[in-house]
Structure 1
């Protein structure tokens, strides 16, 4: 009896998003000249949307072209899942050379949530690809007006793991305008670092799961400290903000959490408030195996199968969850979390009632 072949390491995947004219194509062109970007597949919606003509070398087939940096570029032919599966078939059958990572460039009007949904829902793609992060490009000249006028731009910024601020050098972007935009982005998504377009490719494409299979700094990935600091510093929410319906907050536990409690909490949150859950990510210590934390990740009604790490990536062994929600009070989620951890608060009747009777869903 022969041993079954080892499952290949998941391929890191980054989503590059941003509103129309924000500068995604310019950023991609710069990255394609970086050696750290070699052996990358870039997926775009249409070749005509990305100005890479000077980098084209040859056509691999009718749906794929080879770029000068040794990268491949292909189109989404109406179905992202089918495109990602097709890439794996070609790679496994040696029809294309192995690639080290995938970058998906969305259209400027795309809500990234459905893309995240597809990546963490599909049982085969979950095994073969690993989400490295969401990079959102924001135009410093038109950024605040775009956030005011387009809900898609708000969601693009809210779910980002990293924000790239472009066009800050233009005359129309004064220090006050750029500073106000930065503050708004930090209020919208405190966990995401805000960088300039010249950020190194290794930094831009880095994430919780490093390319060498080792974990990157969990603090950078979660940004839980930044979220908590923002929550404490902004106790009175500004109702005049255009994006006041979107909140970022964190949940913590100093002690380990039982697997059953974590699963019930995530399932109840998903089933009762999934439409309002833009993104959830976290690192949790389980009572059953406290030395090996699990990574949790969710988008709306879908929760990724938790991934167990071989060890803690740093000395902080607290369980930490970071949530980005829309039209959902953080206090409700906090009370629900406390109830499942066996520490129901006196002012948490809704959460306590919900754990006792899942059909009595408040706030919906």
Structure 2
């Protein structure tokens, strides 16, 4: 099983710069590195910067891998052979919506030769939250991180650095701060752990995700025995739900849920089925029209960190009770 890492960060944060330090650190520990490098036009340029390193680099030009280039990314991952003692690093371009991409990486049943993903977010200490209308995207890339690398710290004052750290903690208090050496050691430990797990049969569930194997639509939380912060789960929704109760339930989901979406039908208008999203920072649930397959059922997908599935499931039960007599 191969450790899978999503490397995120806004444009110019220094992701490729960090890779030039991380790959040699991994090599010194005996870990081989594969890299998928995504950018709008210059993926091959950045790939050339990594050419002197001992890494297999696959450039993906075009759109963000969370949307337009997603199929190409997944096919690249599907084609990676089992390679114990290696890691896979995905360097996403600066406009990537990490929650969307993590939803695919954690639920795709063809990625069982990888662990569930870690996310390393690179933050430019000098420019954090100075992106004008892109500040929300930068915060979102931080909110899903398991690890964070604070870059360009030598360019800022002590006061600015403390303010940035405080702001990052507001967005995500769980992420561990790492430099290239520390993250290389963490990946080395993970690589050793999952290699042992494969030899023993790979039957252990994730440690602190809060998701038992039976709770997921696909047994994705059996991909690795190591303690892993990310989990994914799908739950069925009642055939018809109270619109008001549903909106209350979605808005009350715990902060550990970083992504929530699915299909829903409402008792007051049972004809159409909507795609619903919980959009962070918005007070209402977003509903989009859909044209589902005939066998599509109302459902909810959750991506989160140390989620309590029991609490979420109790909420769906209350939706069913609300729907028995009222719309």
Question: When the two structures are superposed, what TM-score results if normalisation uses the length of structure 2?
Answer: 0.59
* Contact kept? 2:205, 2:212, Cα under 8 Å: no
Counterpart CA distance in 2 for 1:41 and 1:33 is: 12
Q: Does 1:106 align with 2:92?
A: yes
Per the TM alignment, residue 180 of structure 1 is displaced from its structure 2 partner at its CA by 0.9
- Matched position secondary structure for 1:109: coil
Where in structure 2 are the equivalents of 1:92-131 lying within 5 Å?
Answer: 100-125=86-111, 127-131=112-116
Q: 1:90 to 1:174 in 2, by over 3 A?
A: closer
Q: 1:33 to 1:89 in 2, by over 3 A?
A: same
Q: Does 1:145 align with 2:130?
A: yes
Instruction: Calculate the aligned-residue CA RMSD, in Å.
Output: 4.9
Where in structure 2 are the equivalents of 1:37-116 lying within 5 Å?
Answer: 38-46=31-39, 48-49=42-43, 51-53=46-48, 55-56=50-51, 68-69=53-54, 71-76=55-60, 79-86=69-76, 88-89=78-79, 91=81, 100-116=86-102
Where in structure 2 are the equivalents of 1:17-56 lying within 5 Å?
Answer: 17-34=8-25, 35=27, 36=29, 38-46=31-39, 48-49=42-43, 51-53=46-48, 55-56=50-51
Q: Does 1:357 align with 2:322?
A: yes
- Matched position secondary structure for 1:301: strand
* Contact kept? 2:38, 2:59, Cα under 8 Å: yes
Counterpart CA distance in 1 for 2:79 and 2:236 is: 37
Q: Point out which structure has higher relative CO (alpha carbons under 8 A, 6+ apart).
A: 2
Deviation digits for residues 83-136 of structure 1 (CA, Å, limit 9, x no counterpart): 4434544637xxxx88722110000111112221221232212x2322230000
Counterpart CA distance in 2 for 1:75 and 1:278 is: 37
Per the TM alignment, residue 217 of structure 1 is displaced from its structure 2 partner at its CA by 11
Deviation digits for residues 140-195 of structure 1 (CA, Å, limit 9, x no counterpart): 1111323874221111000000111011112xx11111111111111111111123
Q: Does 1:13 align with 2:4?
A: yes
* Contact kept? 1:13, 1:132, Cα under 8 Å: yes
Q: Which runs of 5+ in 1 are unaligned?
A: 1-9, 57-66, 223-251, 282-297, 303-323, 342-349
* Corresponding residue of 2:235: 267
Q: 1:359 to 1:107 in 2, by over 3 A?
A: farther
Counterpart CA distance in 2 for 1:37 and 1:361 is: 62
Counterpart CA distance in 2 for 1:14 and 1:120 is: 12
Counterpart CA distance in 1 for 2:102 and 2:312 is: 29
Number of aligned pairs? 253
* Contact kept? 2:119, 2:144, Cα under 8 Å: yes
* Corresponding residue of 2:141: 156
Counterpart CA distance in 1 for 2:186 and 2:254 is: 24
- Matched position secondary structure for 1:156: helix
- Matched position secondary structure for 2:195: coil
Per the TM alignment, residue 24 of structure 1 is displaced from its structure 2 partner at its CA by 0.4
Q: Does 1:168 align with 2:153?
A: yes
Per the TM alignment, residue 213 of structure 1 is displaced from its structure 2 partner at its CA by 4.2
- Matched position secondary structure for 1:141: coil
Q: 1:51 to 1:336 in 2, by over 3 A?
A: closer
Q: 1:353 to 1:117 in 2, by over 3 A?
A: closer
* Contact kept? 1:17, 1:106, Cα under 8 Å: yes
Per the TM alignment, residue 335 of structure 1 is displaced from its structure 2 partner at its CA by 11
Counterpart CA distance in 2 for 1:278 and 1:37 is: 40
* Contact kept? 2:84, 2:191, Cα under 8 Å: no
Per the TM alignment, residue 275 of structure 1 is displaced from its structure 2 partner at its CA by 8.7
